[in-house]
């Protein structure tokens, strides 16, 4: 291998994002480990078979993203996510599941999940979802997103959107249109740290803990205040 190519490969490996997998099925776990490490921007640096093991080990591993099976034995993926978000607030957690039950979807988002994917997601879609999460997005397949919105529509949230400032409302609307943090900053000609600060205030005022939950709640409020004729 030419020296320049070897240096480029070493640099790519050095800057790969660290991914941890939590999956109780050995065959599935091994398959996902191989898949993640084949993605050019990512390395699967650790994997765990239970929520208990993950909670004991992940804080020291310091991953960028955790892929969390929702149906774990013992501590569920939802409960593990909630506890990890307390221990490691900055870690991104994307849920993996074989099914799209509305109740579990709602619980996962309430626990602080940053995204939600079906296990039949293609390698290309997984790569896009991980990059989206790292860029401030909330990756979900289209069928998952429909279930999320429907789940929130069945609940009656407090009318907290009225307490948002005009800038916060602008940002919330852009979130519903699928904008990532960088795109919001460019659209509004503000710094990305300013966007993150506004998002923090939006979450606090709307009593939510994730982008997906904020978007779904806003869509429900909009539908309630402006029903279709």
Question: Percentage of the chain with pLDDT > 90?
Answer: 37
CATH of domain 3-138: 3.40.50.2300
pLDDT of residue 133: 87
Do 3-138 and 156-225 agree at the fold level?
Answer: no
| Total residue length of the chain | 229
Tell whether the model's pLDDT for residue 25 goes beyond 90.
Answer: yes
Tell whether the model's pLDDT for residue 209 goes beyond 70.
Answer: yes
Domain covering 156-225, topology: Arc Repressor Mutant, subunit A (1.10.10)
Tell whether the model's pLDDT for residue 16 goes beyond 80.
Answer: yes
Task: Tell me the angle at which helices 142-153 and 102-110 cross, rounded to the nearest 10 degrees.
Answer: 90
Tell whether the model's pLDDT for residue 151 goes beyond 60.
Answer: no
Domains of the chain, residue spans: 3-138, 156-225
Q: Given pLDDT bands bounded at 50, 70 and 90, which one contains residue 9?
A: very low
Query: For tokens 């929702």, what's the residue?
Result: 70
pLDDT of residue 229: 41
**Top-ranked range on mean pLDDT: pick from 86-95, 148-157, 209-218:** 86-95
């Amino acid at each position: 291998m030419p020296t320049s190519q070897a240096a480029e490969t070493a640099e790519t490996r050095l800057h790969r994002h660290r991914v941890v997998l939590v999956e109780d099925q050995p065959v599935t776990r091994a398959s996902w480990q191989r898949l993640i490490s084949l993605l050019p921007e990512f390395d699967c640096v650790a994997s765990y078979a239970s929520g208990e093991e993950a909670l004991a080990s992940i804080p020291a591993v310091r991953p960028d993203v955790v892929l969390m099976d929702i149906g774990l034995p013992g501590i569920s993926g939802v409960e593990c996510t909630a506890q990890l978000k307390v221990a490691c607030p900055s870690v991104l957690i994307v849920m993996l599941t074989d099914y799209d039950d509305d109740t579990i979807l709602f619980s996962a988002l309430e626990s602080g999940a940053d995204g939600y994917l079906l296990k039949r997601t293609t390698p290309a879609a997984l790569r896009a979802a991980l990059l989206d999460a790292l860029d401030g997005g909330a990756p979900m397949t289209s069928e998952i997103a429909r279930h999320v919105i429907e789940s929130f529509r069945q609940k009656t949230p407090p009318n907290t959107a009225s307490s948002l400032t005009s800038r916060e409302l602008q940002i919330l609307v852009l979130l519903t249109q699928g904008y990532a943090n960088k795109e919001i900053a460019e659209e509004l000609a503000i710094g990305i740290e300013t966007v993150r600060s506004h998002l923090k205030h939006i979450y606090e005022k709307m009593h939510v803990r994730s982008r997906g939950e904020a978007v779904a709640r806003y869509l429900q409020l909009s539908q309630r205040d402006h029903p279709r004729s």
